[in-house]
Amino acid sequence: MEKTGTTFQAFRVEEAEGKYSGSIQAMPFEELNDNEVLIKVEYSSLNYKDALSSIGNKGVTRNYPHTPGIDAAGVVKASNSDKFKEGDAVIVTSYELGMNHPGGFAEYIQVPADWVVAMPAKMDARNAMQYGTAGFTAALSVYRLINNGQKPAMGPVAVTGALGGVGSVACQILHKLGFEVIAANYELAPETEIQKIKATSQIDRNISDDQSGRPMLKTQWAGAIDVVGGNTLTTMLKGCKPLGNVTTCGNIGSGELSMTVYPFILRGVSLLGIDSQNCPMEMRQEVWNLLANDWAIDFNEDLIKETCLESIQKHIDLMLEKKSKGRIIIKM
Ligand SMILES: NC(=O)c1ccc[n+]([C@@H]2O[C@H](COP(=O)([O-])OP(=O)(O)OC[C@H]3O[C@@H](n4cnc5c(N)ncnc54)[C@H](OP(=O)(O)O)[C@@H]3O)[C@@H](O)[C@H]2O)c1
């Protein structure tokens, strides 16, 4: 096994008198248990969950000191599993990585082999982390939509939070698959931003967050990918054409869902839940393979910021202040 020294660098968050602070520390390598793999991380990415973990959010991370980082991609350096061998290129997202298990903001991670996805041919660690959990969730949303019968001929698909991590990738995949895409943002965005994510048109909260209280609305989209929840999700369901599909993955607006059953029983609309964390491995591998091939998008490098372990704290602070734009990827 190739390891350089007995320790490796990691961004560790520590708790002292109720305050949380992060710093780069040297961590010892641990004994590899049965069915575990040791991975040299080449790239990770920064997600909002990591920012929450770094400030002691117990809904994300219960115990400190802790290494955040819910995404990692790299190369297997040692394996106690038949599934992977030294030298295999791999991706790890979801499960407990970076939440209650030391995460990807480190030169090495040690994880159960059951959490590991084989890196598809045509994809590398940087590209995988351009997608990260957000991009994977977008792809999983499109996958569920299509597998439940959504077709471009049915009409446009609305995507809420369209300029965010999940929404922007969802818009671009849908466009690539021939769907007309309506970007639904809180406020109307400059046309140049809408073009970058390949949406055909846009709507703002006056349409996507309907306040009329009516149980059903005039149909305006044939399906939707929602990241906002609450009344925005309700609006997506009420305004969806017959037999359309609406996915739900987020709760940025609200975790509540208050509506009648009429869109379901009078228009046959389906509501599909998206849980990227517990997505079965077979489906997970299939979705990553699609992202590496037919669903691959050309990332606009304007929307990608590459940084290093030493600068993570600065980017976490910006994210918490809501001053962060685009995807942040971390090169180890
Ligand atoms: N279920 C899963 O497996 C899973 C996986 C990943 C993420 N998620 C969830 O998905 C959600 C989105 O994640 P993300 O990474 O895409 O977040 P993000 O990068 O912060 O993007 C969210 C986007 O939504 C916009 N927005 C905020 N409030 C809105 C509203 N009321 N109406 C329309 N747009 C609104 C934001 O605009 P501004 O920037 O202008 O505020 C931003 O563009 C989060 O709730 C996250 O926890 C779930």
Distance 33 CA to ligand 1 centre (A): 37
> Which range of residues forms the domain containing residue 83?
7-119+300-331
Within a domain: 143 = yes
Torsion sign, CA atoms 317, 323, 329, 332: negative
- Is residue 190 located within the same domain as residue 98? no
Within a domain: 125 = no
Per-residue model confidence as pLDDT tens digits over 118-163 = 999 999 999 999 999 999 999 999 999 999 999 999 999 999 999 9
- Is residue 237 located within the same domain as residue 310? no
Query: Cα angle vertex 55, ends 54, 59, to 5°?
Result: 90
- Is residue 138 located within the same domain as residue 242? yes
Within a domain: 107 = yes
Please identify, by atom number, the ligand 1 atom nearest to the C-alpha of residue 48: 15
- Is residue 205 located within the same domain as residue 228? yes
- Is residue 155 located within the same domain as residue 258? yes
C-alpha–C-alpha distance, residues 109 and 82, integer Å? 18
Distance 319 CA to ligand 1 centre (A): 13
Closest residue CA from atom 13 of ligand 1: 166
Is the peptide bond prior to 65 cis by the omega test (within 30 degrees of 0)?
A: yes
- Is residue 146 located within the same domain as residue 220? yes
Residue 259: which pLDDT band, with cuts at 50, 70 and 90? very high
Could you tell me the CATH number of the domain that includes residue 247? 3.40.50.720
Torsion sign, CA atoms 111, 112, 113, 119: negative
Please identify, by atom number, the ligand 1 atom nearest to the C-alpha of residue 275: 3
Within a domain: 285 = no
Distance 250 CA to ligand 1 centre (A): 7
Q: In the numeric block, which tokens belong to residue 78?
A: 């040692």
In this structure, the strands spanning 71-79 and 89-93 are: antiparallel
Distance 114 CA to ligand 1 centre (A): 28
- Is residue 99 located within the same domain as residue 174? no
Please give the model's pTM, rounded to 2 decimal places: 0.95
C-alpha–C-alpha distance, residues 312 and 42, integer Å? 15
Show the DSSP H helices in the chain as ranges: 48-54, 125-147, 165-176, 191-196, 205-208, 230-238, 262-267, 281-292, 312-320
Numbers of helices and strands, H then E, in the chain = 9, 15
Residue 302: which pLDDT band, with cuts at 50, 70 and 90? confident
Within a domain: 127 = no
- Average of per-residue pLDDT values in the chain: 95
Identify whether the C-beta of residue 101 lies closer than 8 Å to the C-beta of residue 22. no
- Is residue 138 located within the same domain as residue 210? yes
- Is residue 269 located within the same domain as residue 139? yes
What residues line ligand 1, using a CB cutoff of 6 Å?
Answer: 48, 133-134, 137, 160-161, 163-167, 185-186, 205, 227-228, 232, 249-253, 274-277
In this structure, the strands spanning 19-28 and 36-46 are: unpaired
Identify whether the C-beta of residue 139 lies closer than 8 Å to the C-beta of residue 169. yes
- Is residue 232 located within the same domain as residue 101? no
CA 113 to chain centre: 21
Within a domain: 227 = yes
Measured in degrees and rounded to the nearest 5, phi and psi for residue 84 equal -135, 150
Query: Cα angle vertex 168, ends 327, 51, to 5°?
Result: 35
Closest residue CA from atom 11 of ligand 1: 250
The closest of 91, 151, 113 to 33, measured between CA atoms, is 113
- Is residue 151 located within the same domain as residue 84? no
Could you tell me the CATH number of the domain that includes residue 308? 3.90.180.10
Please give the pLDDT value at position 3: 52
Distance 216 CA to ligand 1 centre (A): 25
Closest residue CA from atom 18 of ligand 1: 164
Distance 134 CA to ligand 1 centre (A): 9
- Is residue 194 located within the same domain as residue 230? yes
Within a domain: 74 = yes
Q: What is the DSSP string of 74-128?
A: EEEEEESSSS--TT-EEEEESTTBTTTB--SSBSEEEEEGGGEEEPPTT--HHHH
The closest of 116, 118, 111, 209 to 158, measured between CA atoms, is 209
Q: How many domains does one find in the chain?
A: 2
Residue 4: which pLDDT band, with cuts at 50, 70 and 90? low
Within a domain: 293 = no
% of the chain exceeding 90 in pLDDT:
93
Please give the pLDDT value at position 322: 84
Residues 6+ apart with CB under 8 A from 282: none
